[in-house]
Chains A and B, each alone.
Chain A
Amino acid sequence: VMTQSPLSLAVTPGEPASISCRSSQSLLNHDGYNYVDWYLQKPGKSPQLLIYLGYNRISGVPDRFRGSGSGTDFTLDISKVEAEDVGVYYCMQSLQIPLTFGGGTKVEIK
């Protein structure tokens, strides 16, 4: 089970934001990687990948997005939120089937 917090977040542009994701079991594999990905679903759009294997930004994702954590506790930090960052953020464990998502964190702009 993947548990995200908070459920929602209202952020002033330029301010930081942080989303937590906790797994009921360790996502640290024997290969040394944490199998957690982060996705953003913008309003009316399909989800898009931000971060894979805990901290790797996919090509094209701004460096204001940073994934961290290990084992069961993970965090997605946005250093300076921009208007285009609004949407619902999901963590997902990719260590084993069935793949499971966190419940989502809705980020809005104040």
Chain B
Amino acid sequence: QVRLVQSGAEVRRPGASVTVSCTPSGYPFNDYNIHWVRRAPGQGLTWVGWVNSKTGATNYAKAFQGRVTITRDTSVSTAFMQLRSLRSDDTAVYYCARRYSGWPFYFDFWGQGTLVTVSS
């Protein structure tokens, strides 16, 4: 069955960096792209960016450009999201989700979420 398994919770100081991984299984890795979405406490869902699983091409939300890098390693079928220069308002649960590379496309499977806490 399809699963997206994320790495565990992280705690970082302001200014530090964090990398969250997402390892899908149950389907061909290249057939679905990986997106990252976060939910901060008391807030709604915010799209962070995505990586084309096949080509490695990326696109990021303007709010995160310059601080986020999303990559994938096809040898281990895993996607990564690195967020740098962390601030307290980056405290959130970060989710990865798969989206079909063809049509129609939607987020049909999500990871379990990774809590990132930024605190001094």
Binding site for B on A (CB under 8 A): 33, 37, 39, 41, 46-49, 52-53, 56, 58, 88, 90, 92, 94, 97-104
Q: Shortest distance in angstroms between A58's beta carbon and chain B's nearest beta carbon?
A: 7
Q: Which residues on A sit within 8 Å (CB–CB) of B46? A: 101
Give the 8 A-B residue pairs with the shortest CB-CB distance, closest first. Answer: A46-B110, A104-B44, A52-B106, A99-B47, A101-B45, A98-B61, A103-B44, A97-B59
Pairwise interchain contact B108-A49, C-beta atoms closer than 8 A? yes
C-alpha spacing A104/B108, complex, angstroms? 19
Q: Which residues on A sit within 8 Å (CB–CB) of B97? A: 47
Residue of A nearest to B95 (CB): A46
The 0/1 profile, CB within 8 Å of A marked 1, for residues 26-45 of chain B is 00000000010101000011
Interface size class on chain B is: 20 to 34
Pairwise interchain contact B104-A49, C-beta atoms closer than 8 A? no
**CB-contact partner of A47 in B50, B61, B110, under 8 A:** B110
Pairwise interchain contact B104-A52, C-beta atoms closer than 8 A? yes
Pairwise interchain contact B44-A101, C-beta atoms closer than 8 A? yes
Task: Answer whether A98 and B47 are a contact pair too, CB < 8 Å, given A46-B112, A46-B113, A47-B95.
Answer: yes
Pairwise interchain contact B45-A47, C-beta atoms closer than 8 A? yes
Q: Shortest distance in angstroms between A57's beta carbon and chain B's nearest beta carbon?
A: 12
Q: Which residues on B sit within 8 Å (CB–CB) of A88? A: 44
Q: Shortest distance in angstroms between B28's beta carbon and chain A's nearest beta carbon?
A: 20
A-B pairs with beta carbons under 8 Å apart, 11 shown: A41-B45, A47-B37, A48-B110, A49-B106, A58-B108, A94-B105, A97-B59, A98-B62, A101-B45, A101-B46, A101-B47
